[in-house]
Structure 1
Amino acid sequence: MILLQTQDICKSFAAEPILTNLSIEVKLGEHVALVGRNGAGKSTLLKIIAGAISADSGQIVMPKERTMGYLPQNATLNSSRGIYDELLTVFQPLLDTEQKLHQMEAQMAAHGDLSEKDYTQLLSAYDALLADFKAKGGYTYQAEIRSVLNGLKFGGFPDNTPVSNLSGGQKTQLALGKLLLIKPDLLILDEPTNHLDIDTLTWLETYLQRYPGGILVVSHDRYFLDKVATKVYEIARHQAKKYSGNYSRYLDLRSAEYEQAMKNFEKQQKEISRLNDFVQKNIVRASTTKRAQSRRKQLDKLERMDKPRGDEKSANFSFSTEKQSGRDVLAVTNLTVGYAGQAMIKDLNFQLTRGDRVALVGPNGIGKSTVLKAITGDRTRLAGEVRLGSQVSIGYYDQEQTSLTGTKTVLNELWDDYPLKPENEMRNVLGRFLFSGDEVMKIVSQLSGGEKARLLLAKLMMRHDNLLILDEPTNHLDLDSKEVLEAVLEDYSGTILFVSHDRYFINHIADHVFELSRDGLVAYLGDYDYYIEKKNEQAELAKLEIETAAPAAQTATPSSGKQQFLQDKEQKKKKRQLERSIEQMEQEISTLESSIDAKQQSLITPEVFNDTRKAKEVQAEIEANEARLAQLMEEWESAQLAIDALEQ
């Protein structure tokens, strides 16, 4: 069933076309990704579909009985409620039904002068209302709220934490959670992965993979798109083109499509050249003129192919080092970091050697950026030692982009650092980062986030440092720019320490992963996939309480062949235990639901209906069973997520 169709959508801003005769469709159960360069019109299309702005022409078609939910970029919630009560508002109809059921139960349990007719009507109404309540999730909505709060990292917050006290990013996350609980038929998400750490991203992917409705999403997170998308629309040159499969499949199809189109074009060009040569050589000869005229007519009728247009222009740069550092690049000893004398993380110890590529990961707010700032000499270092090796020079990329001067032009932002270099050289450098012509005279404060990111990378390239410290370098970059940056860093000969939530980027760049937590730092010798593999093992061990967590140093050491065999064997054992646990929980859930139904039916029997004490006892048993049911549903979901993690 088709949930959404856009038909010939056109939109321009200040006479500049953004979308031209653009048409897409989303079917029930499809998870559709919109991809394309920054400024291609992806967010504009979502706003048009959601009704936030109007199209210049074209129409949006959606069945009237279907619902739509839209999460814009940097969505927020303005509420005086606590975080739990704010999500509870989603289930207000269920709460009203629950209250009405309790009132009807009280009527049936209390002594009264109900006539047989009134009693029969009340019983019939109660049965119908109870069936509707159960079908709409009356016994599971509390577990659903808890699941979303835990998944979005609000599990440690008191339920009465005011929404107004949350940060902007946290409000966006809570708005996402509220939308997920509403469960519209069509879920429209514009950059939902912003502000999410890796654990939360993983939870969201699992949730959306199981989402039964349609999804239309814009994201620059390739890992996320590979996990969630089942269809991709590429928006380029104001129009959309459809590809089946996830993001990686889209890249393969697009590449193959371009290669085939180029082969067909070249083949036709050869045929045209051959026909032209024949005409030129034979048109004036009496014996062959008719054949030449025939070839000329053939040429005139030929529908000529346009040369396939490749990718739009990409940034073209590289990072090089002016001098090589010594073998020992960085040593951090007993480092304590924080702000205004308040420590966030204490006693960190680690080392970097030449050529290391280390990703620093951890939950939002743990202090990753603060650690990077301390290493670069910022006042966030409260105690401990940061020692640089011989000939080490640091190039620092600040995710907050505070090193840029808002009042300068793009050209002067770069040129003022190298005033002795000619203007032409500075313009050539900026051109490699897609600033050409009059664009170099733009004021920095008027640049988009992606443009500022490219300008920062241009400044970093000019320094030729041998230790790059990068804080979220892929933020604001579109998919193409991320791929360019990855290729540049893969060829870089120096040492890299970086923070990123982009798992695809981490997996391509990192050969070590340092995980930062309140307990300190744990080192993993490997890329992101290796890190996740080890984290899953630890998580399952903790959940099943089979054994205590392994010491950090042991965790960071790659296993020998025998150890790996034993770990794999243990992993299969854990999966079987989880599956048995789920079966037991499902049996208990079924038993509880049957018990709740039976006890609710007993409330209307004469022996209970006419005995107030007995009715109260039955009602207390129902409430106890409902509480246990909600707990089981939450445990069941956690076990299912654990199995999914093992299978990845």
Structure 2
Amino acid sequence: MLSINNLSYHIGGRALYENASLHIKPKDKIGLVGQNGTGKSTLLKLIHGDYQPSQGEIQKSKDCTLGFLNQDLLSYQSEDSILDVALEAFKETLQLQEQIDKVLKQMETDHSEEIINRLAHLQERFEANEGYTIKSKAEEVLEGIGFSTEDLSRPLKTFSGGWRMRVMLAKLLLEKPSLLMLDEPTNHLDLPSIQWVENYLKNYEGAVIVVSHDQIFLDNCISTTVEVSRKTLTAYPGNYSFYKKEKEEREEIQQNAYENQQKMIKDTERFIERFRAKATKSNQVQSRVKALERMDRVDEVVSDEVAVNFRFKFSRKSGREVVGLEEVSKSYGDIKILENTSVRIERGDKIALIGANGKGKSTLLRIIDGSENIQGERHEGFNVIKSFFAQHQLEALNVNNEILQEMTQAGSAKTETELRNVLGCFLFSNDDVFKKIKVLSGGEKSRVALAKTLISEANFLLLDEPTNHLDMQSVNILIQALQQYEGTFITVSHDRHFIKGVANKIWYIEDHQIKEYLGSYEEYADWKTRQEEKEINSRATSSPAKKVKEKKSQVSRNDTEVQQAKKELKKLQREMELLEQKIMDLEIEKEELEGKLADPSIYENEQESAGLNEKYAKLKKEEDSLTKSWESLGEKIDGLQEMV
């Protein structure tokens, strides 16, 4: 269908591709991967014809049509509704509809056989093009990628860039080109929309080539991985996980071959050096010299993986409770976000807040931060030091600063060496640290802003879409850094690979309530699937009479029991607060005692040291007892919350 043969492409004096080749067949599902700057997006533009190769050729069959989603489409504006913009995918069918409308108008005064035959011919073509279903198809795709039914009539220009990009994606999907090319399609999609697009692409009739940093998205919708590296294209017959495993095995073989060759080269060079001056060995020496000159050298493997050893420093540890929300409500005019919902963040929680856009995830993050007005109560725990990362912080970077200068001004009191080590973890090495912020790409700015957040010595991080604009390597670095983080954090993200790597709790907003799942994302996804299956089975097997009975039973719940449960719940919550305060006081006392016991001079007085150790043991025993009571109270509270 499409062949890339011996492609070379140069930017200035730099070669991006040299003699690269790739063959794309009908129904191929290809993921294009590689580090930033290797030329993935450039390859799509070369295929589309936006750029011309320096050498080589790109050939496509006559019936091959191209559809290209790229970031340039963010600027597209229109007064038309998003439904009408999406319907532009059916250009020929819409033209037929216009012609049919004109003929029908003519038939008001012209009843000739010719005009009737023309109408019949046009209607036959219109039906062959499935013209009566194009509107429902457009609605299905638009709603699948996150638009509500009410949104469909709104003009495109009233939506933000990310939502406009979704409309462009919908239009491309409806056009069904032979080769669909998508450049970072998940950047502007929420989790339900990403999963919808995955399913759509898996069943797509044509070929697909996609550039994405979302590893799970690639795993779920591609069957071939093409790596862009060292100015060439290398195909792996499998999804992203297969590629990672296969690449590791190939690199192991290559590294062994390199080491064996290097040993042979050294042995040969020693022979040449040793016998160079001996006339009797001159033929053998010359033979070995020529052999070295003719030898095809095996390259040493240079790993793309970066191991991060990121040491976080806290000036103080937070109390057991970090932030609590009690009966919180939040609305924007008639749009209700939260209603009388309560939740608690405890020290050590690693929370991923997930779900569809428009549910209020970023709003909730600001509520937790304390920067959003609410109805209800928000209380912050003891010794909490916050640091908030959001995309607008990229704009807050001083564009005239160098990277190192920007980090120095973050106020962390770290030395230049320490800051360089941190920047090294985020792929800024050597002279990179002296680059001006204004020359950095979006991904590089994100890495700088994240690095500033992480050196803040905060014990509580709030991260809003931290993986946006990051490539795979940078996402993996962030995962490693957060895995080593000993504080508390909550992050909003649609990147499932990132969530799987860092979260021990999952939050989502449903029916204006904050819901919590205690476990990893994989466990949550498995649980969610089972719940949906149960709901489908329940709907399928439940009779109308049974539903009426269940509804009556639910309505007739004992109001007195509910009221009693509410009173008991408030009582237990007060007990919980008192208990937590006692535990925090004990922790402070324990820390003071630990400081004394860490002083070597205390052991010069055996009686005093024994007394302190005994006191410490008592405190620890008391803390354990209080913790058990706290856990027991928590279980009772959870049970009562389900009742009310």
Cα deviation per residue 1:3-33 (whole Å; 9 max; x = unaligned)?
34254131304x3443334333321110111
Q: Aligned partners of 1:4, 1:282: CA distance in 2, in Å?
A: 53
Residue 41 of structure 1: aligned partner: 39
Cα deviation per residue 1:145-186 (whole Å; 9 max; x = unaligned)?
121022022233254221222221111101110111011111
Match of 2:470, SS?
coil
Count of matched residue pairs: 541
Residue 89 of structure 1: aligned partner: 88
Match of 1:460 among 448, 453, 462: 453
Change (3 A) 1:428 1:508: closer
Q: How far 1:362 moved relative to its partner?
A: 1.9
Q: How far 1:108 moved relative to its partner?
A: 12
Q: Is the aligned partner of 1:296 residue 2:275?
A: no
Counterpart residue type for residue 308 of structure 1: E
Match of 1:310 among 302, 320, 333: 302
Match of 1:193, SS?
helix
Match of 2:339, SS?
strand
Counterpart residue type for residue 5 of structure 1: I
Counterpart residue type for residue 47 of structure 1: K
Q: Aligned partners of 1:369, 1:533: CA distance in 2, in Å?
A: 25
Q: Aligned partners of 2:410, 2:102: CA distance in 1, in Å?
A: 75
Cα deviation per residue 1:164-217 (whole Å; 9 max; x = unaligned)?
222211111011101110111111111111111000001001001111111111
Q: How far 1:139 moved relative to its partner?
A: 4.6
Is the Cα contact below 8 Å between 1:34 and 1:233 reproduced in 2? yes
Is the Cα contact below 8 Å between 1:173 and 1:195 reproduced in 2? yes
Match of 1:150, SS?
helix
Q: Is the aligned partner of 1:9 residue 2:8?
A: yes
Counterpart residue type for residue 309 of structure 1: V
Change (3 A) 1:435 1:295: same
Q: How far 1:52 moved relative to its partner?
A: 2.6
Residue 72 of structure 1: aligned partner: 70
Match of 1:345 among 338, 341, 347: 338
Residue 384 of structure 1: aligned partner: 376
Q: How far 1:526 moved relative to its partner?
A: 2.3
Counterpart residue type for residue 382 of structure 2: S
Match of 1:363, SS?
coil
Q: Aligned partners of 2:367, 2:485: CA distance in 1, in Å?
A: 24
Change (3 A) 1:542 1:422: closer
Match of 2:362 among 369, 373, 388: 369
Q: Aligned partners of 1:497, 1:340: CA distance in 2, in Å?
A: 27
Aligned pairs for 1:215-254 (under 5 A) are 215-254=208-247
Q: Aligned partners of 2:138, 2:510: CA distance in 1, in Å?
A: 26
Q: Aligned partners of 1:391, 1:341: CA distance in 2, in Å?
A: 37
Change (3 A) 1:420 1:368: closer
Change (3 A) 1:540 1:432: closer
Q: Aligned partners of 2:269, 2:407: CA distance in 1, in Å?
A: 53
Q: Aligned partners of 1:491, 1:170: CA distance in 2, in Å?
A: 35
Counterpart residue type for residue 388 of structure 2: Y
**For the aligned residues, what is the CA RMSD?**
3.6
Match of 2:189, SS?
coil
Change (3 A) 1:252 1:289: same
Is the Cα contact below 8 Å between 1:337 and 1:374 reproduced in 2? no
Change (3 A) 1:462 1:155: closer
Cα deviation per residue 1:355-412 (whole Å; 9 max; x = unaligned)?
222110121122211221222231x132333333333322322232254333433222
Is the Cα contact below 8 Å between 1:332 and 1:385 reproduced in 2? yes
Change (3 A) 1:289 1:450: same
Is the Cα contact below 8 Å between 2:321 and 2:381 reproduced in 1? yes
Q: How far 1:312 moved relative to its partner?
A: 4.3
Residue 390 of structure 2: aligned partner: 398
Q: How far 1:498 moved relative to its partner?
A: 0.8
Cα deviation per residue 1:419-461 (whole Å; 9 max; x = unaligned)?
8655444344333433344433333243222111211222233
Counterpart residue type for residue 382 of structure 1: I
Change (3 A) 1:213 1:343: closer
Q: Is the aligned partner of 1:198 residue 2:191?
A: yes
Match of 1:450 among 443, 446, 468: 443
Q: Is the aligned partner of 1:164 residue 2:157?
A: yes
Match of 1:430 among 413, 423, 429: 423
Q: Aligned partners of 1:309, 1:501: CA distance in 2, in Å?
A: 33
Q: Which has the higher helix share?
A: 2
Q: How far 1:291 moved relative to its partner?
A: 9.8
In structure 1, stretches of 5+ residues that fail to align are 552-648
Q: How far 1:325 moved relative to its partner?
A: 3.2
Q: Aligned partners of 2:251, 2:429: CA distance in 1, in Å?
A: 27
Change (3 A) 1:542 1:174: farther
Cα deviation per residue 1:203-233 (whole Å; 9 max; x = unaligned)?
0010011111111111111111111112122
Q: How far 1:292 moved relative to its partner?
A: 5.8
In structure 2, stretches of 5+ residues that fail to align are 555-644
Q: How far 1:344 moved relative to its partner?
A: 3.4
Match of 2:180 among 167, 177, 187: 187
Counterpart residue type for residue 33 of structure 2: V
Aligned pairs for 1:11-30 (under 5 A) are 11-13=10-12, 15-30=13-28
Q: Which has the higher contact order (CA 8 A, sep 6+)?
A: 1
Q: Aligned partners of 1:113, 1:463: CA distance in 2, in Å?
A: 82
Match of 1:489, SS?
helix
Q: Aligned partners of 2:398, 2:334: CA distance in 1, in Å?
A: 28
Is the Cα contact below 8 Å between 2:348 and 2:486 reproduced in 1? yes
Q: Aligned partners of 1:56, 1:304: CA distance in 2, in Å?
A: 27
Is the Cα contact below 8 Å between 1:22 and 1:240 reproduced in 2? yes
Match of 1:308, SS?
coil
Q: Aligned partners of 2:249, 2:475: CA distance in 1, in Å?
A: 21
Is the Cα contact below 8 Å between 1:279 and 1:295 reproduced in 2? no
Q: How far 1:69 moved relative to its partner?
A: 1.0
Change (3 A) 1:26 1:421: same
Change (3 A) 1:484 1:259: same
**TM-score using structure 1 length:** 0.74
**TM-score using structure 2 length:** 0.75
Match of 1:140, SS?
helix
Q: Is the aligned partner of 1:154 residue 2:147?
A: yes
Q: How far 1:474 moved relative to its partner?
A: 1.0
Is the Cα contact below 8 Å between 2:305 and 2:473 reproduced in 1? no
